[in-house]
Amino acid sequence: MLQLIFSVCSIVEGAGCRELPPVPLRENTTLMECAIASQIEGARWVAAHPNYYITRARCSPAGKFVKI
């Protein structure tokens, strides 16, 4: 199972960047489907958070998210 992880930065707070909690994807999602989901979920998230922009979206196996 894959999960989608976004790295976002604030337009207002200068260099205030962070990783969002992972977005779980349905079981048996392929990497191509994850890439497509990143565009859809990313657009949805940015529309709801206009003071941020996404710097990176990545697909990783579920349970491998480490917050630093």
pLDDT tens digits, 33-53? 999 999 999 999 999 999 999
Does residue 21 belong to any structural domain of this protein? yes
Give CA–CA dist 34/57, Å, rounded. 10
Q: Output the six-digit token pair for 31.
A: 């990497």
When computed from its CA atoms, the radius of gyration of the chain, rounded to whole angstroms, is 12
H-only helix segments in the chain? 31-48
Rounded CA separation 25/42 (Å) = 14
**Predicted confidence band of residue 65 (pLDDT cuts 50, 70, 90):** low
Q: Residue 20: inside a domain, yes or no?
A: yes
Range of the domain at 8: 2-61
> For the chain, what percent of residues have pLDDT higher than 70?
93
Q: Is residue 66 part of a domain?
A: no
Contact indicator for 54, 20 with CB cutoff of 8 Å: no
> How many domains does the chain fold into?
1
68 part of a folded domain = no
